[in-house]
Structure 1
Amino acid sequence: MEKEVLDLPPRSRIRFAEKIIESVEDFVSPEIQAAWSEEIGRRVKDIESDKVRGIPAAQVMAKARRALNEARKISSTRRK
């Protein structure tokens, strides 16, 4: 089955991969859930105690937009 999937056109492989991911998206092992809960608690504590400072949302979004635009430029030059 793996060979058949890999022989599909790229768009079909992407759709197939998305469907596979969606089929297991809700699964989270108890170990992973516990680790994330611990990490979230640690991060909240660090922020509340001023041990770390958050980054303003506008700054994060601007950086993400720049990175996305750069990735699009690279992607479009590869297609030519």
Structure 2
Amino acid sequence: MTQKYYTKHLLPMYIKALNEARLRDSSKSYYLQEDNDPSHGTKSTDNVAFQAKKENWILRIVHPAQSPDLNAIEGMWNILFQRVEQ
């Protein structure tokens, strides 16, 4: 995935979801979990993805790139696949 695709197609959905969550309950902190893939704008601060997250007050949980053992969703895939097969 490219940073251009991420910034144009995926990041706006994340920003919208986080802003809606903040409106429902502003007493909580909301975080975007993503690995350290370059398309997420994690390698420098002078790119569109990083700036969009900064402008929208997006807090990030940063994980090393390609680290599925640290990603919460990875443990759910087997459960989802089993349910789809049923």
Q: TM-score, normalised by structure 2?
A: 0.25
Higher relative contact order (Cα pairs below 8 Å, separated by 6+ residues): 2
Q: Which has the higher helix share?
A: 1
